[in-house]
Amino acid sequence: MSFQFYSEKVLKYVKHPQNLGQIKNPDGVATVGNPVCGDVMRLFIKVEKKNNQEYLKDIKFQTLGCGAAIATSSMITTMVKGKPLKDAEKITNQAIAEALGGLPPSKMHCSILAAEALKKAIQNYRQKSKK
């Protein structure tokens, strides 16, 4: 049991975030949170179809927020990149928190925000592809 506020993994992701940046002409994009609350996350996704299945070919994030906000949004991109869309959709906020070696209770809302960002980005892709 660690008595540190943040796990080593969270700190690592804050220092060296994975998949940071934007995707030009993304297939789906979503922004969640707002500056009044202090956390804003934006996810960009690129989807590829192979053998009738949709895959997350690429995913990138941008975040304004605390350490947990940065770490959870970066972590979710590494967890779903290359995965089938239907699997990616099922990622829960608990899974993100676990993958980071746990989050302080007051920071769990950041993982919820990250999970919501992915769901909305996929929703955005589906709406676009219907047209």
Partner 1 sequence: MKKIYLDHAATTPVAPAVLKTMQAFFTKDFGNPSEPHSWGQAARQGIEEAREKVARFLKAQPSEIIFTSGATEAINLAHKGLIETFKNQSKNSRPHLITTQIEHKAVLETCRHLEKIGWAKVSYLPVEQNGLVKTKEVERAIRPETVLLSVMFVNNETGAVQPLKAIGQLLQKINKQRLRNKKGRIYFHTDATQAVQYFNCQVDDLGVDLLSLSGHKFYAPKGVGVLFIRKKTPLVRQQDGGGQEYRLRAGTENVPFIVGLGKAIELIQPNQKQSLKNTQKLRDRLVSGVLKIPKVRLVGDLKTNAPHIATFLVEGVEGEAMMLLLSEKGIAASSGSACTSGLLAPSHVLLAMGYQSQQAHGSLRFSLGQANTPKEIDEVLAFLPEVIQKLRRMAPKL
Using the rule CB under 8 A, give the single segment among 51-59, 75-83, 93-101, 106-114 that binds partner 1.
Answer: 106-114
State yes or no: residue 64 binds partner 1 (CB under 8 A). yes
Q: What is the CB neighbour count within 10 angstroms for residue 14?
A: 16
Asked if 6 and 67 count as a contact pair (C-beta separation under 8 A), the reply is: yes
**Per 3-state DSSP, what percentage of the chain is helix, strand, and coil (rounded to 5)?**
45, 25, 30
110 labelled catalytic: yes
Give the integer Cα–Cα distance in Å for 103 and 96: 9
State yes or no: residue 36 binds partner 1 (CB under 8 A). yes
37 labelled catalytic: yes
Asked if 110 and 39 count as a contact pair (C-beta separation under 8 A), the reply is: yes
Selected from 19, 26, 27, 42, the binder of partner 1 by CB under 8 A is: 42
Interacting residues toward partner 1 by CB under 8 A: 6, 11, 14-15, 17, 20, 31, 35-42, 62-70, 106-107, 109
Q: Which residues are catalytic?
A: 37, 110
